[in-house]
């Protein structure tokens, strides 16, 4: 099957409606709140999502049977990009992290009863969720196998004890998908299980909201503790001890959708920047007549187009061969490149704009703060490079046997 860069008329129409919606409804609200969603009132989220529903662009990624538009990975790419032009756009369309990734996981792994209880209200925007895997050092971080949170069997089900931190969207979430160790020890490659746990369960404690560089994630990033948190067997998501396998079901597509959402901000800085060199005089010419500035503008366009093409290839692999080993390799490659390309685009744009770029008068300084953590989120670039190289070496060694 060939990879096509053309979209159907139906998808193109969704993109067009999303563009109008972001420009006329979302951007004015973002400007009022200066891009900070950490403490955005819940009522604004609801109003934005109701407006997206009225525009027919809500939950583009979720299955139609649960209230979404049912787009596959390739078709959702231009919609996510267009939504991401505003930092609040993905929230409005209900395709922001972590809910979007959780929806994908629940569609693939959850039982019908769990889907009705957790997935359907999540897709409709009635509730929010979080994914509780990351732990303080030396627990699960860039290396998930270091998982220390533990779930022990009891006569009534399970009791969970552990410490999580940097859990995106936890403040105000209705439920969490908790990753806990059910066998083995920290460092073991298996032995993790996922649990679906309502946030009001006794023993589920939000200790604090962490002050971070970025501010655009609704609900922020929080630190959680689980103290004798009791759940029944019906809380187990999928099968016991298969949590690490299920994490890959979620993380591969989530890396790509995170990249799609950041294409939008990557397009925003060049749009801001090119107005300046086209009109601003500097020394004896316009800024845009200087070769150094032209190179920065050209390199931005190269990075954006390369990031878009690489992500679309990864989406094609995920759509056609989601279980293939190649999917992990291409998603790691795409995630690493896109995260770094977006940073380069914003940095170059800020440089062109000079003092205006670092001021609060335009969005560049805010975007600079937002995109920098992407090189850490969903796996640091260094971890992905390590994994990419190991796969290449294994392939070479197998060929030489």
Residue 324, pLDDT score: 72
DSSP assigned state of 310: H
Check whether 274 has a pLDDT greater than 90.
no
Check whether 154 has a pLDDT greater than 60.
yes
Check whether 188 has a pLDDT greater than 60.
yes
Which tens digits make up the pLDDT trace of 282-325? 544 566 677 888 899 899 999 999 999 999 999 999 999 877 76
Q: Are 327 and 255 in contact (CB under 8 A)?
A: no
DSSP secondary structure string for all residues of 79-110? HHHHHTTSTTHHHHHT--TTHHHHHHHHHHH-
The mean-pLDDT minimum among 82-96, 103-117, 260-274, 303-317 falls in: 260-274
Question: What is the rounded CA–CA span in Å between residue 345 and residue 354?
Answer: 14
Q: Are 110 and 118 in contact (CB under 8 A)?
A: yes
Check whether 155 has a pLDDT greater than 70.
yes
Residue 325, pLDDT score: 66
From the list 19, 4, 17, the residue with the least C-alpha distance to 267 is 19
Tell me what the pLDDT averaged over the chain comes to: 91
Averaged pLDDT for residues 249-261: 90
Question: What is the rounded CA–CA span in Å between residue 86 and residue 268?
Answer: 8
Task: Please give the domain boundaries of the chain with CATH numbers for all domains.
Answer: 9-96 (1.10.540.10), 129-241 (2.40.110.10), 244-399 (1.20.140.10)
Cross-strand pairs, 154: 157
Residue 278, pLDDT score: 53
Question: What is the rounded CA–CA span in Å between residue 374 and residue 236?
Answer: 30
Q: Are 83 and 74 in contact (CB under 8 A)?
A: no
**45 phi and psi angles, rounded to 5 deg:** -60, -45
Which tens digits make up the pLDDT trace of 103-131? 999 999 999 999 999 999 999 999 999 99
Going by their DSSP bridges, the two strands 204-209 and 129-132 should be labelled as unpaired
Which tens digits make up the pLDDT trace of 206-244? 999 999 999 889 999 999 999 999 999 999 999 999 999
Question: What is the rounded CA–CA span in Å between residue 372 and residue 41?
Answer: 25
């Amino acid at each position: 099957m060939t990879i096509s860069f053309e979209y159907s008329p139906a998808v193109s129409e969704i993109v067009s409606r999303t563009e109008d919606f972001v420009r006329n409804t979302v951007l004015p609200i973002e400007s009022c709140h200066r891009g900070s969603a950490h403490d955005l009132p819940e009522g604004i989220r609801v109003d934005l999502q109701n407006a997206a529903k009225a525009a027919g662009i809500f939950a583009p990624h979720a299955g139609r049977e649960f209230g979404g538009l049912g787009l596959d990975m390739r078709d959702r790419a231009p919609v996510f990009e267009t939504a991401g032009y505003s930092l609040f756009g993905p929230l409005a369309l209900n395709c922001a992290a972590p809910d979007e990734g959780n929806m994908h996981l629940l569609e693939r792994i959850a039982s019908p009863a769990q889907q009705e209880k957790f997935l359907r209200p999540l897709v409709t925007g009635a509730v929010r969720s979080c994914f509780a895997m990351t732990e303080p050092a030396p627990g699960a971080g860039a290396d998930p196998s270091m998982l220390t949170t533990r779930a022990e069997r009891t006569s009534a089900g399970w009791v969970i004890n552990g410490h999580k931190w940097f859990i995106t969207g936890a403040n105000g979430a209705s439920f969490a998908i908790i990753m806990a160790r059910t066998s083995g020890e920290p460092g073991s490659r298996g032995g993790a299980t996922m649990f679906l746990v309502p946030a009001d369960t006794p023993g589920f404690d939000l200790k604090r909201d962490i002050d971070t560089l970025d501010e655009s994630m609704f609900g922020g990033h929080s630190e959680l503790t689980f103290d004798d948190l009791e759940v029944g067997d019906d809380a187990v998501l999928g099968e016991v001890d298969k949590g690490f396998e299920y994490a890959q079901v979620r993380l591969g597509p989530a890396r790509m959708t995170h990249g799609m959402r950041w294409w939008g901000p990557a397009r925003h800085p060049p749009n801001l920047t090119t107005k300046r060199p086209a009109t601003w005089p500097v020394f004896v010419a316009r800024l845009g007549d200087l070769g150094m500035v032209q190179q920065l503008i050209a390199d931005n366009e190269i990075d954006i187009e390369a990031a878009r093409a690489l992500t679309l290839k990864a989406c094609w692999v995920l759509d056609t061969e989601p279980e293939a080993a190649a999917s992990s390799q291409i998603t790691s490659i795409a995630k690493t490149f896109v995260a770094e390309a977006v940073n380069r685009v914003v940095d170059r744009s800020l440089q062109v704009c000079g003092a205006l770029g670092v001021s609060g008068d335009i969005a560049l300084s805010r975007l600079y703060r937002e995109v920098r953590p992407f090189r850490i989120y969903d796996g640091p670039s260094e971890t992905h490079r390590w994994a990419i190289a190991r796969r290449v070496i294994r392939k070479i060694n197998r060929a030489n046997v």
